[in-house]
Protein backbone atom coordinates (compact mmCIF):
# COMPACT_ATOMS: atom_id res chain seq x y z
CA UNK A 1 0.00 0.00 0.00
CA UNK A 2 2.85 2.42 0.78
CA UNK A 3 6.01 2.91 -1.24
CA UNK A 4 9.31 1.44 -0.05
CA UNK A 5 10.69 4.91 0.66
CA UNK A 6 7.99 5.73 3.22
CA UNK A 7 8.39 5.54 6.97
CA UNK A 8 5.88 5.69 9.82
CA UNK A 9 6.41 8.09 12.70
CA UNK A 10 4.12 8.71 15.67
CA UNK A 11 4.06 12.02 17.50
CA UNK A 12 2.66 12.00 21.04
CA UNK A 13 1.27 14.69 23.31
CA UNK A 14 -1.12 15.23 26.18
CA UNK A 15 -4.63 16.47 25.54
CA UNK A 16 -6.72 18.42 28.04
CA UNK A 17 -8.04 16.35 30.96
CA UNK A 18 -11.67 17.07 30.07
CA UNK A 19 -11.14 15.98 26.47
CA UNK A 20 -12.76 12.66 25.41
CA UNK A 21 -9.45 11.76 23.71
CA UNK A 22 -7.73 11.76 27.11
CA UNK A 23 -10.51 9.67 28.62
CA UNK A 24 -10.41 7.14 25.78
CA UNK A 25 -6.69 6.96 24.91
CA UNK A 26 -4.87 8.65 27.80
CA UNK A 27 -2.98 10.87 25.38
CA UNK A 28 -3.15 12.35 21.91
CA UNK A 29 -1.11 11.01 19.03
CA UNK A 30 -0.76 11.44 15.29
CA UNK A 31 0.78 8.74 13.11
CA UNK A 32 2.42 10.09 9.96
CA UNK A 33 3.33 8.14 6.81
CA UNK A 34 6.26 10.12 5.45
CA UNK A 35 8.43 10.02 2.33
CA UNK A 36 11.87 9.37 3.81
CA UNK A 37 13.70 11.40 1.16
CA UNK A 38 11.54 14.54 1.05
CA UNK A 39 9.77 14.53 4.41
CA UNK A 40 6.42 14.86 2.61
CA UNK A 41 3.48 13.65 4.68
CA UNK A 42 1.64 11.10 2.52
CA UNK A 43 -1.18 10.54 5.00
CA UNK A 44 -1.78 10.46 8.72
CA UNK A 45 -4.16 9.29 11.38
CA UNK A 46 -4.86 10.54 14.87
CA UNK A 47 -6.44 9.49 18.12
CA UNK A 48 -9.39 11.83 17.58
CA UNK A 49 -12.67 10.39 18.80
CA UNK A 50 -14.81 11.79 15.96
CA UNK A 51 -14.08 10.54 12.44
CA UNK A 52 -14.46 13.93 10.78
CA UNK A 53 -11.97 15.39 13.28
CA UNK A 54 -9.39 12.76 12.36
CA UNK A 55 -10.01 13.42 8.67
CA UNK A 56 -9.70 17.18 9.15
CA UNK A 57 -6.48 16.84 11.13
CA UNK A 58 -5.09 14.64 8.36
CA UNK A 59 -6.04 17.26 5.76
CA UNK A 60 -4.03 19.85 7.71
CA UNK A 61 -0.85 17.82 7.24
CA UNK A 62 -1.19 15.79 4.02
CA UNK A 63 1.12 17.23 1.38
CA UNK A 64 3.07 19.23 3.97
CA UNK A 65 6.51 18.18 5.13
CA UNK A 66 7.89 17.11 8.48
CA UNK A 67 10.91 19.22 7.55
CA UNK A 68 8.71 22.34 7.16
CA UNK A 69 9.22 25.26 9.49
CA UNK A 70 7.25 24.62 12.68
CA UNK A 71 6.02 28.22 12.83
CA UNK A 72 4.37 27.91 9.40
CA UNK A 73 2.61 24.69 10.45
CA UNK A 74 1.62 26.26 13.78
CA UNK A 75 0.03 29.22 12.01
CA UNK A 76 -1.76 26.89 9.57
CA UNK A 77 -3.24 24.80 12.42
CA UNK A 78 -4.15 27.85 14.52
CA UNK A 79 -5.96 29.44 11.57
CA UNK A 80 -8.00 26.35 10.72
CA UNK A 81 -8.49 24.08 13.74
CA UNK A 82 -10.57 25.38 16.64
CA UNK A 83 -11.04 22.24 18.75
CA UNK A 84 -9.78 21.75 22.29
CA UNK A 85 -6.89 19.60 21.01
CA UNK A 86 -5.22 22.40 19.03
CA UNK A 87 -2.18 22.56 21.31
CA UNK A 88 -1.98 18.75 21.48
CA UNK A 89 -1.93 18.59 17.67
CA UNK A 90 0.98 21.02 17.52
CA UNK A 91 2.93 19.20 20.23
CA UNK A 92 2.36 15.83 18.48
CA UNK A 93 3.56 17.31 15.17
CA UNK A 94 6.66 18.77 16.86
CA UNK A 95 7.37 15.39 18.50
CA UNK A 96 7.10 13.60 15.15
CA UNK A 97 9.26 16.27 13.51
CA UNK A 98 11.95 15.77 16.16
CA UNK A 99 11.89 12.02 15.56
CA UNK A 100 12.06 12.53 11.78
CA UNK A 101 15.17 14.72 12.08
CA UNK A 102 16.80 12.15 14.36
CA UNK A 103 16.06 9.39 11.83
CA UNK A 104 17.42 11.51 8.97
CA UNK A 105 20.59 12.15 10.95
CA UNK A 106 21.07 8.42 11.48
CA UNK A 107 20.29 8.53 15.19
CA UNK A 108 18.31 5.86 16.91
CA UNK A 109 14.99 6.91 18.38
CA UNK A 110 13.63 5.69 21.67
CA UNK A 111 10.27 4.13 20.85
CA UNK A 112 9.14 4.73 24.43
CA UNK A 113 9.45 8.52 24.32
Boundaries of domain holding 76: 6-102
In a domain, 113, yes or no: no
- Distance from C-alpha of 28 to C-alpha of 71, rounded to nearest angstrom: 20
In a domain, 73, yes or no: yes
pLDDT band at 112 (very low <50, low <70, confident <90, very high): low
Residue 110 has pLDDT above 70, yes or no: no
- Distance from C-alpha of 16 to C-alpha of 21, rounded to nearest angstrom: 8
In a domain, 110, yes or no: no
- Could you give the number of structural domains in the chain? 1
CATH code at 24?
Answer: 3.30.390
Residue 41: strand pairing partners: 34
This prediction has a pTM of: 0.84
Q: Spell out the alpha helix ranges (H) of 26-107.
A: 51-61, 70-80, 86-104
In a domain, 1, yes or no: no
In a domain, 111, yes or no: no
pLDDT by residue (tens digit) across 43-67?
Answer: 999 988 789 999 999 999 999 999 8
In a domain, 26, yes or no: yes
Amino acid sequence: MFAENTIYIVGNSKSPQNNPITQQYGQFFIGFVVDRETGEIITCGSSATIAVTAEFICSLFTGKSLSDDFQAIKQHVENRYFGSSQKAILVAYKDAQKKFFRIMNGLMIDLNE
